Structure 1
């Protein structure tokens, strides 16, 4: 472990133990470095690293504060990491596998907790998807919002952040582009309609099954597409693959 890593760990320990709770202000740099037995340079580097990780917030002219430490904040970088992984076929399939493990259960949980307002939000995005059958940008936007509304109904912020992180917008856009070109968009829209119907019935098992069918079909479509791309010698990670390869 480098000296900077040790300094980061020391500050994290202060946060973990409650010595620096969420929203609290860190001591001035000189005092903090003395308290931790660090040089001021090390303390400064540790603070910078923790600020990038959204654990700390540096407010110019005011000082450095511990953030709210909410999951949506701390896991914010996951989506960016996923976007960087999308040139790796194995990583893409791993992400789809994780989605298949998490999303059906999240949808089932949503069925037991969703409010009338939450159900109305899901339906709004489903209706918008139907109207945008051949507009990939709008389909992608409302598809993401549909699933966000479903998982939001669980009231579990960590679960919502994780699922949003692994369902990258670039990947969704490529898949929708491929589905439209392969004339499979209608089938996928029907799968969304089945999820909505199961949620409307507040049926745990049916919601889980509908979501599992949807994610499994998408995963299988992606596997087949990657196999086809490989046989043709295409690179699913290239900058042009959104147009040339249709999905990734």
Structure 2
């Protein structure tokens, strides 16, 4: 793997500080002199790093006033948004929006998959549900998450739409972290097992609307569980 340039290193470290909440939306980031001293690089290197983040709409430059951090919904870099979702401190909104995105894409993918999925893939889906059930009974969180992710990935692939799979690939790291977080709750695991079973049965029927409705119900349950068991605890 090629080494990052000094410009890339400085841009990444400043982004890390933004994501960590050191510079929240609307805050002014340090000037070139302070950053060049901190990173022991030239002002030109810092200037190029700032331009990189400005091009991604993470920063906005106001001549004569300073450089400001933009709100997350203005960022134009998928990688940066995913890093914020995975590592950010104020991630409740990002967690909800991630489920909303999954709902839009996965419900449609499940509907497509109903008309294309094969018998062997249906068997695999039931196998993943059984693996989730055994992991739940054995209190094996890692195995539960692995089977859960594999179940959804199979449906995305079975949709036959290459764009769906490509769109989801960058989300995998964030999804794995979220699944691990939510699946620590036994009640959430039980809900997930029931919904995955319903999805597998709907796909086995080869009825597109039934498959879509089953996935949509799962996404709604996932959202409800997130709000009830995870986000509610953080607000206490």
- Using the size of structure 2 for normalisation, the TM-score is 0.60
- Does the 8 Å contact 2:129/2:197 carry over to 1? yes
Determine which of 197, 207, 210 is the counterpart of 1:203.
Answer: 207
Aligned length: 163
Structure 2: which 5+ residue stretches go unaligned? 1-6, 8-47, 53-77
Report the Cα offset of residue 104 of structure 1.
Answer: 1.0
Q: Which residue of 1 aligns with 2:176?
A: 169
- Does the 8 Å contact 1:85/1:92 carry over to 2? no
Distance 1:84 1:150, change over 3 A: same
Report the Cα offset of residue 83 of structure 1.
Answer: 2.2
Report the Cα offset of residue 195 of structure 1.
Answer: 0.2
Structure 1: which 5+ residue stretches go unaligned? 5-44, 50-74, 233-248
Q: Which residue of 2 aligns with 1:140?
A: 145
d(CA) in 1 for partners of 2:84 and 2:119? 35
1:112-123 aligned within 5 A: 112-123=115-126
d(CA) in 2 for partners of 1:78 and 1:154? 26
1:191 aligns with 2:198: no
1:1-248 aligned within 5 A: 82-85=85-88, 87-133=90-136, 134-164=139-169, 165=171, 168-178=175-185, 180=186, 183-232=187-236
Q: Which moved more, 1:76-85 or 1:196-205?
A: 76-85
Report the Cα offset of residue 101 of structure 1.
Answer: 1.6
d(CA) in 1 for partners of 2:197 and 2:83? 30
- Using the size of structure 1 for normalisation, the TM-score is 0.57
d(CA) in 1 for partners of 2:225 and 2:149? 18
d(CA) in 2 for partners of 1:205 and 1:221? 24
Q: Which residue of 2 aligns with 1:33?
A: none
CA-atom RMSD in angstroms: 3.1
Report the Cα offset of residue 187 of structure 1.
Answer: 2.6
SS at match of 1:168: helix
d(CA) in 2 for partners of 1:146 and 1:123? 9
